[in-house]
Structure 1
Amino acid sequence: MDCPSEENLIRLALAPISGISTLKFDLGARTVTIEHAGAAESLVDALAPLNFGAQLRESRKIEAGEHGVVVSTIAIPKMDCPSEENLIRMALADTPNISALQFDLAGRQLRVTHTGDAEPLLERLTPLGLGAELTSTERADTVPAMQSRDDAGEARTLRWLLAINGTMFLVEIIWGWISQSTGLISDSLDMFADAAVYVLALFAVGRSLAHKRRAAHLAGWLQLVLAIGAIAEVIRRGISGSEPESVTMMGIGAVALVANIACLILIAKKRDHGAHMKASYIFSANDVIANLGVIIAGALVTWTGSRYPDLIIGLIIGVIVLGGARRILRLQ
């Protein structure tokens, strides 16, 4: 065992075993320390098929109170989508002594099961600018058990989501330019932001933390450039004038709406398989609102004969995408 991909295989091999509370990997020493209930031999048996040469070095009973496992609840007011959840996971990825992360997007809080002090957690989260604040720390009566995941199934779902969002990014930005609609152009960037989340999720499998962060920063810079370009286009057309084609706005907006509903259907089958898939469901649901905003703006352009509904929705979505890019680039 000498790389993150092998660590991931070990986690998968041990996932079906009940009674495991924490896993602590030391890639340098090529060891894993496991806090668990039951016989240690069952762990070795589960690892044997991997052919990593797993051997039991030591097994001892942990005395009451020795493990010192606590649960810290952190309020994160600006956390409401999977791109932000992904940033938080990456920020905490190499923090020692964390055994579980439980995200509550609706309540905008994170529960971290860990040992030691909670301050290092806040030091990692503060640079993200999401307003992280420690609300409580209490001793854990139980430690969340590891859950078995259908990683292959989730990967297939993520690839479909990536294909849908990537295709709609191209469709909306091309037709947005042709129809002079800043609403469609900005909404295409929202699709791009979604696609970037799914690319990072797929890229993260078996990669080191440094690779993940480099990929995140690359996506963040590209998203930043596109968002600034979209906002600049809104300003330019606001000054020089534009004639957005309302029928095209409503038609392409409806296609994007159907695409996001398809994403919701795909994610609905997996949203109980973990916080990431549940967050993706909420994120796509929010995208449906943006699509409806473009369609309504198109209808208002037809009704009023004014270009301003298109400019307003384009500016709103552009600012939202710009904010997401800034948060990605704050990741240390």
Structure 2
Amino acid sequence: MHVETAASYIHSHAFLGDSHDAHERRTRWVVALTAAMMLVEIVAGWITGSMALLADGMHMATHAGALGVAAMAYAFARRHAHDRRFVFGTGKVGDLAGFASALVLAMIAFGIGIESFWRLLTPKTVAYTEALWIAGLGLVVNLVSAWLLADGHHDHHGHDHHHDHEHGGHHDNNLRSAYFHVLADALTSVLAIAALLAGRFLGWAWMDAAIGIVGATVIARWSWGLLRDTGAVLVDASLNPGLEAEIREAIEDGDARITDLHVWRVGPGRYASIVSLIAADPLSPRAYADRITVHEELVHVTVESHRCEGHHAPRLRAA
């Protein structure tokens, strides 16, 4: 007979992503690239008078800041992964960093939009040739940054499970925000180049400010998407109905009925669950836990079972 010891009931609370260290290294490289290009674009935009170029530089400034926070979040989560003060580990630190970055981006998007609107009313002279060179260089840096982050983003996406129906459930939101952010930067650079070409060859001076407004809109939409997804993780929203359905199917194979079920994310691709059930002749909580921990993403499971008289317990729906 197998005899379990106290140690068999003790487990780690380090719920970091599978590629946490690799993502941290990629993020640091992109921070360095973006910070350098940010300074070039902001200075050049100021000197040449290009609002589209300045907007792209400011966007890259927020991007560099967001990535800097992301890099620090990776380091903090790694250093404190086994710190018992964090009762469910540090897996959500990346989501917290993403949420904070999204708030800053929303404010920057508003500022760029207002400034671009005033430039529409009072156009300024733009040094198109110089601005085009800088905008082209910015696009190259954005594409290189996207390439650095793309492998980690796609590799992680490839490990998603078929039952995952939530937004970004198995994604590392730190890496996800960085990846889509550099894509947004690349789009803003393309728009800036288009505006400068239109002004240089067609005389459409107004196009520069108009593109600044478009760039602000792109930043705002990205910000809202990240706020929505990271906020849902931070408030422990129920995000994975597919996993919940599989837990119910595994537990309710017999006369057991779940009366209360909670499933929430504690890290990239990592979930915790609390299950309360009733049965006429309940098994041990460990037996029920063993049924559902076959799902590797369930890393922290608590089960409480209660005896209910009557062979067929009523099927109750979770609140």
Per-residue deviation, residues 81-140 of structure 1 (Å, max 9, x unmatched) = xxxxxxxxxxxxxxxxxxxxxxxxxxxxxxxxxxxxxxxxxxxxxxxxxxxxxxxxxxxx
Q: Aligned residue for 1:57?
A: 9
Per-residue deviation, residues 133-183 of structure 1 (Å, max 9, x unmatched) = xxxxxxxxxxxxx99834322211110111222222232222212211111
SS in 2 for 1:55: helix
2:155 aligns with one of 269, 273, 298:
273
Q: Whole-Å Cα distance in 2 between the matches of residues 321 and 281 of structure 1?
A: 14
Look at both structures and tell me which one has the larger radius of gyration over its CA atoms: 2
Per-residue deviation, residues 252-281 of structure 1 (Å, max 9, x unmatched) = 111101101221332344344313457755
- C-alpha displacement at 1:186, in angstroms? 1.8
Residues 264, 285 of structure 1: 8 Å contact kept: yes
Q: Whole-Å Cα distance in 1 between the matches of residues 72 and 7 of structure 2?
A: 31
Q: Aligned residue for 1:143?
A: none
Q: Whole-Å Cα distance in 2 between the matches of residues 209 and 148 of structure 1?
A: 8
Check 1:265–1:298 CA distance in 2 against 1; reply closer, same or farther (3 A cut).
Answer: same
Q: Aligned residue for 1:187?
A: 56
Q: Superposed, which structure 2 residues align to 1:110-259 within 5 Å?
A: 149-205=18-74, 206=77, 208=90, 215-216=97-98, 218-259=100-141
1:298 aligns with one of 158, 178, 196:
196
Check 1:289–1:228 CA distance in 2 against 1; reply closer, same or farther (3 A cut).
Answer: closer
Q: Aligned residue for 1:132?
A: none
- C-alpha displacement at 1:40, in angstroms? 11
State TM-score, norm by structure 1.
0.49
Q: Whole-Å Cα distance in 2 between the matches of residues 230 and 317 of structure 1?
A: 8
Check 1:147–1:294 CA distance in 2 against 1; reply closer, same or farther (3 A cut).
Answer: same
Q: Whole-Å Cα distance in 2 between the matches of residues 288 and 210 of structure 1?
A: 28
Q: Whole-Å Cα distance in 2 between the matches of residues 272 and 319 of structure 1?
A: 26
Residues 249, 294 of structure 1: 8 Å contact kept: no
Q: Whole-Å Cα distance in 2 between the matches of residues 171 and 247 of structure 1?
A: 15
- C-alpha displacement at 1:304, in angstroms? 1.8
Q: Whole-Å Cα distance in 2 between the matches of residues 273 and 211 of structure 1?
A: 21
Q: Whole-Å Cα distance in 2 between the matches of residues 266 and 210 of structure 1?
A: 23
1:308 aligns with one of 203, 206, 230:
206
Q: Aligned residue for 2:245?
A: none
Q: Whole-Å Cα distance in 1 between the matches of residues 178 and 221 of structure 2?
A: 18
Per-residue deviation, residues 180-229 of structure 1 (Å, max 9, x unmatched) = 11111221233234334433433333265886676555434433333222
Residues 193, 321 of structure 1: 8 Å contact kept: no
Q: Whole-Å Cα distance in 2 between the matches of residues 304 and 40 of structure 1?
A: 82
SS in 2 for 1:306: coil
Q: Aligned residue for 2:276?
A: none
Q: Aligned residue for 2:303?
A: none
Q: Whole-Å Cα distance in 1 between the matches of residues 227 and 176 of structure 2?
A: 24
Residues 53, 135 of structure 2: 8 Å contact kept: yes
Residues 200, 215 of structure 1: 8 Å contact kept: yes
Check 1:40–1:180 CA distance in 2 against 1; reply closer, same or farther (3 A cut).
Answer: farther
- C-alpha displacement at 1:289, in angstroms? 3.0
Residues 186, 317 of structure 1: 8 Å contact kept: yes
Check 1:224–1:170 CA distance in 2 against 1; reply closer, same or farther (3 A cut).
Answer: farther
RMSD: 3.7
Check 1:257–1:222 CA distance in 2 against 1; reply closer, same or farther (3 A cut).
Answer: same
Q: Aligned residue for 1:20?
A: none
- C-alpha displacement at 1:310, in angstroms? 0.6
Q: Whole-Å Cα distance in 1 between the matches of residues 102 and 16 of structure 2?
A: 31
SS in 2 for 1:149: coil
Q: Whole-Å Cα distance in 2 between the matches of residues 213 and 151 of structure 1?
A: 13
Residues 16, 91 of structure 2: 8 Å contact kept: no
Q: Whole-Å Cα distance in 1 between the matches of residues 134 and 146 of structure 2?
A: 18
Check 1:212–1:280 CA distance in 2 against 1; reply closer, same or farther (3 A cut).
Answer: closer
Q: Aligned residue for 2:160?
A: none
Q: Whole-Å Cα distance in 2 between the matches of residues 234 and 242 of structure 1?
A: 11
Amino acid at match of 2:217: V
SS in 2 for 1:322: helix
Amino acid at match of 1:187: D
Check 1:252–1:232 CA distance in 2 against 1; reply closer, same or farther (3 A cut).
Answer: same
